[in-house]
Amino acid sequence: MPLGERSGDKESRYCGVETEFNDDMPQLLSHNLASAGFDFVVATLMDPAYRPSLMQKDSGGSGALPFAGSDLVLSPSQWSSHVVGKISSWIDLDSDDEIVRMDSETTLKQEIAWASHLSLQACLLPTPKGTSCANYARCVNQILQGLNNMQLWLRIPLLKTDDDSMDVDSNNLVDSWELWNSFRMLCEHHSQLSIALDVLSSLPSANSLGRWFGESVRAAIINTDSFLTNARGYPCLSKRHQKLITGFFNHAIQPLMDNLEAQTYETFEKDAVKYIQYQRAICKALQDRVPDEKASMMTTVLMVVGAGRGPLVRASLQAAEETGRKLKVFAVEKNPNAVVTLHSLVKLEGWESIVTIVSCDMRHWDAPEKADILVSELLGSFGDNELSPECLDGAQRFLKDDGISIPSSYTSFIQPVTASKLYNDVKLHKDVVHFETAYVVKLHNVARLAPTQPVFTFTHPNQPTMKSNQRFAGYFDATLYKDVHLGIEPSTATPNMFSWFAIFFPLRTPVFVCAGSSLEVHFWRCCGPTKVWYEWGVTSPCPSPIHNSNGRSYWVGL
């Protein structure tokens, strides 16, 4: 909703009521807010009988417009916090009647100018009258270019041309998402244009509804005839309606996050689920390396590469205690600040005789002996995007020929999504660089358009030929060891794990994909002497430019 957050609420939800024209705005607010318990009103700002072409004759030349109250009847904060302006519903900017078109354009601009003067946070635009909305979109786009911070909500009825959609006149069937898509593309995906979705008594199919979760739906307008009566005589919504509204609550807009490197060690260390999975994998590896009868005699050499502040060191020692195996640990970490913490941890826990701290880049370290088990947590949201292949290939030289790598393999996955909020966040920068950068995001306001597809797999140890890591390239799923895995690919995601969010690869121009058609996307993982980068592009249904050529905008340094 556009209104300010309630005290103590991080993501407030508000309930308003749509009202008829009333030039006594204080009384309208008093009745609906104080008496009826709503948070705001959607109010028509101008008498719906007004037409500019009749203005001169009816006004006697005064030129005063029939507004619903002046800017003095309420304080600016009341206008801003409790009123969403409703643009006159009669306007039709694509009418065949020239006078109607001209009156509509004049009225639209007058009403939005007045709403802006009142400091309203949003105005509700009427639904396009027909399948063509080009002139309407042109006029709205003109207004958007000079608009202050006010949002424009385009009213869109929830209609779909499938068999189970609506019981309406077949001659007027329209796919409202396609209508919205056409309108917002004509307005260049402007960030101040969003949707007020008219939820009717009948709903389209689940697939059709799913598309709206990726759009900037600011309000759901629930018609009174959508309500049923429950067994106790109270109004209620159907199960499908409830699921839809709850779905919008669960898809609140989440801003783009910084690249994964910006997340702190502390955040990682709080992810207990991840380290439980690692401990399980290490337990199994220790039991495979050392049989029970030799547990008291054999010492397993385990190297934690990229030890950070020590959570994997702790998980390894706990696994040794759990399995009754003897362990010698090398903790390799190149960050000198983390090494300070590691030394303190080892001293605090009394691990000096077991753990050796190595302050060095694993790729350049000469190990005094070879490891039985190599453990790392270098995985990124796209599996390899934090250079796990390069780092582990460099560390592989000090792993025994029959040694175990944890993780042992990981696969990247891609999935096409509609995410208008993320697209607009990127678009605000007005440059190519941000459209050629991958972002780690917590996906909420998103429509997933197809199941995930595997892209490529890395296996460790990478033997015997040391295959190139430059290959045709989301999400990831990793096998730590045997049947122990972790990942964020939706169908197999590890429950309650938060160390990784999905990675978002933008497209400079959104692609329209018809239902049932194929989307062909190409990803390349490219390696140079000093950096690794991705290039990506769409080839079907229509070609896009290749994004991030030569890593010009986004790369990871070696």
Positions annotated as catalytic residues are: 377, 386
d(CA 100, CA 102): 6
> Quick check: bond before 52 cis, omega within 30?
no
Query: Is residue 265 part of an annotated ligand binding site?
Result: yes
Query: Is residue 369 part of an annotated ligand binding site?
Result: no
Report how far apart the first and last C-alpha atoms of the chain are (Å, whole number): 45
Separation of CA 509 from chain center = 18
DSSP 23: S
User: Contact 502/443 with Cβ under 8 angstroms?
Assistant: yes
Q: Interior CA angle at 77 toward 5 and 253, to 5°?
A: 30
Query: Is residue 361 part of an annotated ligand binding site?
Result: yes
SS3 248: helix
The torsion region of residue 471 among left (phi > 0), alpha (psi -120 to 50) and beta comes to beta
State the residue for tokens 């209609």.
159
DSSP 401-458: EEEEEES-EEEEEE--EE-HHHHHHHHTT-SSGGGGS-EEE---S-EE-S--EEEEEE
d(CA 402, CA 438): 37
Distances in whole angstroms, Cα of residue 430 to Cα of each of 186, 427, 436: 17, 6, 12
The torsion region of residue 306 among left (phi > 0), alpha (psi -120 to 50) and beta comes to left
Residue whose C-alpha is closest to residue 278's, from 356, 376, 345: 376
User: Contact 164/206 with Cβ under 8 angstroms?
Assistant: no
Residues in the chain: 558
Taking only Cα atoms into account, the Rg of the chain, rounded to an integer number of angstroms, comes to 30
Burial of 109 by CB count in 10 Å (0-12 exposed, 13-18 middle, 19+ buried)? middle
Query: Is residue 362 part of an annotated ligand binding site?
Result: yes
d(CA 238, CA 474): 35
DSSP 33: I
Burial of 360 by CB count in 10 Å (0-12 exposed, 13-18 middle, 19+ buried)? middle
Residue whose C-alpha is closest to residue 499's, from 413, 386, 360, 336: 386
Angle, helices 134-145 vs 176-186, to 10°: value is 50
Query: Is residue 269 part of an annotated ligand binding site?
Result: no
Query: Is residue 402 part of an annotated ligand binding site?
Result: no
For the stretch 47-51, contacts whose Cβ atoms lie closer than 8 Å and that sit 24 or more positions apart, written own/partner, are 47/21, 47/23, 48/21, 48/88, 48/89, 48/90, 50/88, 50/107, 51/103, 51/107
* Binding positions for S-adenosyl-L-methionine: 265, 274-275, 333, 361-362
